[in-house]
Amino acid sequence: MENKYAQKLIEKIQKDLLQDKFNVDTIVEDLKKIREYSLEEQNPVVTKALRLAYEHLEANNAFMISIPDDDPFEATEAQDDNFSNENDLESFEYFLSLLADLSKKNNLLDLRAYNAAFLAF
């Protein structure tokens, strides 16, 4: 994300996670604000990822999506591996790090993988 306010919100969420503060209501509120900034930047992959993420958090009160596989062919064969049985904070932290630097092509690819996992959940 290029918007400095979006970057600050991402950093705030990351800082809270480091301090073991996982408050779904606060995180959802922040993700909704970040999504507003992504709408301005006109990046549909990011905008969709943010919406799906906060909807997922609201519905499950946890982040139940695992970090995407490096090999996209393996990911399509083992869809069940994309889900976690418990709150996967490591995956959520990785998701946030993807949002922080969208200049890397692989970050957008991983966001697309998260989007597919959210929809399959």
Q: Per-residue pLDDT for 37 more than 90?
A: yes
Q: Per-residue pLDDT for 3 more than 90?
A: yes
Domain of 54 in residue numbering reads as 4-120
Q: Percent of the chain scored above 70 by pLDDT?
A: 91
Q: Which of 8, 43, 10 is nearest to 27 (CA)?
A: 10
- Residue spans of beta strands (DSSP E) within the chain: none
Over the stretch 47-106, which tens digit does the pLDDT of each residue have? 999 999 999 999 999 999 999 987 655 444 445 567 888 889 999 999 999 999 999 989
Give the chain's domain count: 1
Q: What's 68's DSSP letter?
A: P
State pTM to two decimals.
Answer: 0.89
Greater pLDDT, 30 or 77 = 30
Q: Percent of the chain scored above 90 by pLDDT?
A: 78
